[in-house]
Amino acid sequence: DAGVIQSPRHEVTEMGQEVTLRCKPISGHNSLFWYRQTMMRGLELLIYFNNNVPIDDSGMPEDRFSAKMPNASFSTLKIQPSEPRDSAVYFCASSLGAGNEQFFGPGTRLTVL
């Protein structure tokens, strides 16, 4: 298996632009997680899905952030409009059921100018 796939790996955009991050979880995994990592705030859970359904989005910073999972093999995290404080590395992770191991993708490094 190729592992969790994220795209793009790097994104540089200007303040006010829309940003869409993409994730393909490991085939067969039924839980998907979006995290944000910064030096100041560490690794934060933004939202997670179970069987394509959002279970907890309490970590989503504000209405500018939205996430979807239209099917078991694809999820997006969208920021509209983006702001410089959104600059971070965004990780997608997936896991199988009630297992204890999450598999992280390589991350998307987002820079908002």
Partner 1 sequence: GQSLEQPSEVTAVEGAIVQINCTYQTSGFYGLSWYQQHDGGAPTFLSYNALDGLEETGRFSSFLSRSDSYGYLLLQELQMKDSASYFCAYGSARQLTFGSGTQLTVLP
Rounded to a whole number of angstroms, the minimum distance from the CB of residue 17 to partner 1 is 25
Q: How many other CB atoms are found less than 10 A from the CB of residue 88?
A: 20
Residues near partner 1, by CB under 8 A: 31, 33, 42-45, 48, 50, 55-56, 91, 93, 95-107
Classify residue 75 as exposed, middle or buried by CB count within 10 Å of its CB (0-12, 13-18, 19+).
buried
Nearest to partner 1 of 16, 99 (CB atom): 99
Compare residues 48 and 65 and give the one whose CB is closer to partner 1: 48
Closest CB 18 distance from partner 1, rounded Å: 25
Nearest Cα residue to 95 out of 21, 2, 48, 32: 32
Q: Given the complex with partner 1, which of 5 and 81 has the nearer CB atom?
A: 5
Concatenate the DSSP letters of all residues of 57-99 into one string: -TT--STTEEEEEEETTEEEEEESS--GGG-EEEEEEEE-TT-
Residue 72 Cβ vs partner 1, minimum distance, rounded to whole Å: 16
Measured from the CB atom, is 81 or 111 closer to partner 1? 111
